[in-house]
């Protein structure tokens, strides 16, 4: 049964509203990008954020029908992207963390979700990709790892040497070093740790000094 002109207009408006709602959903998440390709890797849809990203990292202007592989100028990145697209076109769902971009412009890290796109007959007609920019997260993780390494090195320096049995003279209190030489206690400890010495005089020694002075 065919729709009346008024009903057809209402159906058209309903579809337009649904498409507008879908577009708003795709455009709204911060840092999330969406695009879809056909079996020839040509764009069938994309979010504005994706178009801006392609401009930023490849210096490319894209449109519907543009082959995405043609604008990826780095050979390794192009091969990586094609392998992921082919996996999705074969029916696989992928979740990967990857780095893309022209080294002379901008390299960024992404969390990419690849999924096959099916037509009404159930055949794979293309693929969809949801992308999240994780560059800041990766940089934070790298900075944390660097800080942990620096902390570990500093801790190792603080406790690195004064371990095990230390040979010390029972009379003069000099310490025998690894090269068999005998070193003052203060010199040895300063050389093998971050400790520093300030000299004073204890009450017992002070009494002895006074006695020698009076004599």
Average of per-residue pLDDT values in the chain: 83
pLDDT tens digit string along 177-197? 888 899 888 888 877 777 777
Strands of 25-153 (E only): list them: 32-38, 43-46, 94-100, 108-118, 124-133
pLDDT value at position 173?
Answer: 83
Mean pLDDT of 103-120: 91
How far, in Å, CA of 141 to CA of 72, rounded?
A: 27
Q: Where are the domains of the chain?
A: 27-139, 159-198
pLDDT value at position 1?
Answer: 44
- Does the pTM exceed 0.75? no
Per-residue tokens: 7: 């009903």
- Among 126, 127, 63, 129, which residue's Cα sits nearest to residue 100? 129
pLDDT tens digit string along 27-64? 555 556 889 999 999 999 888 889 999 999 999 999 99
pLDDT value at position 125?
Answer: 93
How far, in Å, CA of 176 to CA of 62, rounded?
A: 74
CATH assignment of 27-139?
3.30.450.20
* pLDDT over 70 at 25, yes or no: no
Tell me what percent of the residues of the chain surpass a pLDDT of 90: 38
How far, in Å, CA of 192 to CA of 46, rounded?
A: 62
**Alpha helix (H) ranges present in 1-134?**
5-27, 48-58, 68-71, 75-89
The size of the chain, in residues, is: 215
């Amino acid at each position: 049964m065919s729709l009346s002109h008024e009903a057809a207009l209402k159906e058209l408006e309903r579809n337009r509203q649904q498409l507008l709602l879908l577009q708003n959903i795709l455009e709204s998440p911060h840092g999330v990008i969406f695009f879809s390709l056909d079996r020839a890797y040509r764009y069938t849809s994309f979010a504005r954020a994706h178009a801006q990203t392609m401009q930023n990292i490849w210096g490319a202007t894209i449109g519907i029908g543009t082959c995405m592989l043609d604008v990826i100028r780095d050979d390794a990145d192009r091969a990586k992207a094609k392998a992921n697209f082919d996996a999705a076109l074969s029916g696989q769902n992928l979740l990967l963390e990857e780095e893309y971009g022209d080294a002379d412009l901008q390299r960024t890290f992404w969390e990419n979700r690849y999924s096959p796109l099916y037509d009404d007959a159930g055949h794979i007609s293309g693929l969809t990709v949801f992308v999240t920019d994780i560059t800041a997260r990766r940089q934070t993780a790298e900075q944390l790892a660097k800080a942990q390494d620096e902390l570990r090195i500093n801790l190792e320096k603080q406790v690195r040497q004064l371990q095990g049995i230390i040979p010390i003279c029972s009379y003069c209190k000099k310490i025998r070093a690894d090269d068999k030489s005998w070193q003052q206690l203060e010199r040895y400890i300063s050389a093998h740790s971050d400790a520093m010495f300030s000299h004073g005089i204890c009450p017992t020694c002070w009494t002895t000094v006074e006695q020698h002075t009076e004599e």
